[in-house]
Structure 1
């Protein structure tokens, strides 16, 4: 298993459902496009004698590594066994989300609008971070948007309890005990307090969702107050820490993550892919152009990929694309961050067509279905064109109210019944 900053390898477009929203172990940023979710209570602890005995044993081991009794008592005051954390760890089912759906969520209208507002609000911080670390401010902002919806979804789980629970009763006990030791080091350094150390159920923390061990390696004190505070409302340290992370993994200043390109008619797709790297000039000689018909600038060796398959959008990606993947080892994530950053900076949507889905509907058709259902009182939780659990429930409710078979599937027939016409 490849361990990145996120502590978990995620595959191309086929993502792992590691949280209640089926997003990742970090938080709920991909649960939907909105940036103001309703507050959720912290998970409840439950009595567990075995866990209590394990905590005593762990504290003895930690003391042998140099932690004082006062530090351990402070860190573990009020710590409890969290059954919901174990349940989340045990239900990591696989599901597939198309790249089109992933991008529709990652760079939704709401997330782009909110991202541009946050970029303006924190322009001085972001420009300062870019100047100091050489990482594009728009990319740092995009990571912030992807990881926590610009700070709105930082998690609600007490990290000490979560890491202790998973070190005692999880599937990767050694890994989470390592994270718990890192938590103790963070607390001992005075960067935060146990009550403020809140994050996702699997340990990711703050505005840009660092695992504890990665925090120790890459977090920085940008504000100069003596603390590397990624948990508070001020995102400055978190944004700078993200830039520092990307810089350490080889970010190239002035190089784009990638450029959407157009393949010539009849192009041999066997000449592209993740294993084939050429200069932009070589690609130009093959007839590959940007979406406006020009040649792509010489930003170094690049790859041309078409991750959604033949007929879907194609991208020329550079080294910075691979650096973004060090944050989350998924092609869909890297495209999502890069594209969201471009949108925040004023760019437009992806121009290549993904084509219709298996039901013959386009993304715009699915958005139309959601809009029409919402207008009739059937809540789809947004109109991003992604048919998730809420949209399926809304479709079933509409079908039941109109004497239709219960399917929960967005179809041309459904769109017609709602008064629309497939595109």
Structure 2
């Protein structure tokens, strides 16, 4: 295997030198583990050309094909449920009940976040509860292997290629490590940021409540959140919630739970 990897790396490097087209170098996607080890050195060559340093390349070389991630990616059935069924499955009543207590317990933190970003506690707490059960379920997968596998997989390679480049940049900076644990798709922290989102909107340690919630508020503000405007469907700030997650039932659930946590019916 080592000689094969070395040969592929040498081929890719030679292609750069000889001026071959980028299409000749492009790392090919696959639909199973068979080609993953051969794909890594090709992707590494492209990553070096984009400025990824030694730490990021070394981390990429250590990744493995994450079969559990692929299985999870093919099984996202809950987003196809009705809104009522989705909210029951995700435990919305428990999220609202505990969320109200979390709002009181962390009143100073939420007041500070709202003052800075204009986002009230409700939707932030709803996202926090929905994503990780208020930080209790952050995943135990190798973040980089999950994202590298999805970048290699033919289902959504462009989207996860961007995520992989972002993860490698964060590793180069020392913000993330090659051993970082996350959820099935590589999300990390208490509100589950993907690396590109972390790179663009992270404002603290995402493993802490304050860092994760502040970063989430920063994301929403950057996507058009207007201080004091409503966030239910049809209201101005609902569009920002839609940018957080593309699933309609998820968006609606966050709006409903957020309203209930903030004191609405």
Report the TM-score when normalising by structure 2.
0.78
Correspondence list, 1:37-76, <5 A: 50-73=35-58, 75-76=59-60
Measured in 1, the distance between the counterparts of 2:96 and 2:117 equals 24
Q: Which of 210, 213, 218 matches 1:244?
A: 218
Q: Which of 83, 108, 124 matches 1:140?
A: 124
Correspondence list, 1:205-220, <5 A: 205-220=188-203
Write the deviation string for residues 302-352 of structure 1: whole angstroms up to 9, x where unpaired: xxxxxxxxxxxxxx731112221111234432331122122223444xxxx
2:82 aligned with 1:98: yes
C-alpha contact 1:81 1:165 (8 A) present in aligned 2: yes
Write the deviation string for residues 252-290 of structure 1: whole angstroms up to 9, x where unpaired: 2112223xxxxxxxxxxxxxxxxxxxxxxxxxxxxxxxx
Write the deviation string for residues 30-65 of structure 1: whole angstroms up to 9, x where unpaired: xxxxxxxxxxxxxxxxxx663222222222221222
Which residue of 2 is the match for residue 334 of structure 1? 251
Which residue of 2 is the match for residue 151 of structure 1? 135
- How far did residue 248 of structure 1 move? 1.1
C-alpha contact 1:81 1:161 (8 A) present in aligned 2: yes
Q: Residues 106, 256 of structure 1: CA spacing in aligned structure 2 closer, same or farther, 3 A cutoff?
A: farther
Measured in 2, the distance between the counterparts of 1:125 and 1:321 equals 23
Q: Which of 85, 98, 113 matches 2:97?
A: 113
Q: CA RMSD in A?
A: 2.5
C-alpha contact 2:220 2:241 (8 A) present in aligned 1: yes
C-alpha contact 1:138 1:345 (8 A) present in aligned 2: yes
Corresponding residue SS for 2:138 = coil
Measured in 2, the distance between the counterparts of 1:171 and 1:216 equals 24
C-alpha contact 2:79 2:250 (8 A) present in aligned 1: no
Structure 2 stretches of 5 or more lacking a match?
1-32
Corresponding residue SS for 1:317 = coil
Structure 1 stretches of 5 or more lacking a match?
1-47, 222-228, 259-315, 349-423
Measured in 1, the distance between the counterparts of 2:253 and 2:259 equals 10
C-alpha contact 2:79 2:86 (8 A) present in aligned 1: no
Correspondence list, 1:240-389, <5 A: 240-258=214-232, 317-348=234-265
Query: Which structure would you say has the larger RCO, counting Cα contacts within 8 Å and 6 or more residues apart?
Result: 2
C-alpha contact 1:250 1:323 (8 A) present in aligned 2: yes
- How far did residue 133 of structure 1 move? 0.7
2:174 aligned with 1:190: yes
C-alpha contact 1:166 1:176 (8 A) present in aligned 2: yes
Measured in 1, the distance between the counterparts of 2:91 and 2:262 equals 12
Corresponding residue SS for 2:42 = helix
Aligned residues: 234
Report the TM-score when normalising by structure 1.
0.51
Q: Residues 93, 126 of structure 1: CA spacing in aligned structure 2 closer, same or farther, 3 A cutoff?
A: closer
